[in-house]
Amino acid sequence: QQQVRQSSQSLTVWEGETAILNCSYENSAFDYFPWYQQFPGEGPALLIAIRSVSDKKEDGRFTIFFNKREKNLSLHIKDSQPGDSATYFCAASYSNNRIFFGDGTQLVVKP
């Protein structure tokens, strides 16, 4: 059973638009939700993360919106740039256990 689901395999936006990547999860015990960014030829790297006690986390152009009741979250990338083109993985974990990853969304930002 897929613990973390990302609704889109791919997403294309124009430069300057807001890219919205959606994610949902199964296990109500999850309390930590990181998003990882991966460029070709590299390993994923932590981009931004939120804990379940919060409903929003902002870091520059990147914002996570979290809905505990609905068990979903989204990553908003404001003013998207071509350099943001990458694969984004939504993930979840609880109590310092292993992290469960979604299948990833490949974002393309067209100039």
Fill in the DSSP letter of residue 61: T
73, 85, 104, 107: which one binds other proteins (CB under 8 A): 104
Binding of other proteins by 66 (CB under 8 A): no
Closest CA to 90 of 36, 45, 26: 36
- Closest distance to other proteins from the beta carbon of 79 (Å): 26
75, 89, 107, 109: which one binds other proteins (CB under 8 A): 89
Cβ-count burial of 72 within 10 angstroms (0-12 exposed, 13-18 middle, 19+ buried)?
middle
Residue number, 14 or 39, with CB nearest to other proteins = 39
Binding of other proteins by 49 (CB under 8 A): yes
Q: Pattern of binders to other proteins over 17-36, x per CB under 8 A?
A: ---------------x-x-x
- Report the amino acid identity of residue 33: F
Closest CA to 15 of 72, 63, 61: 61
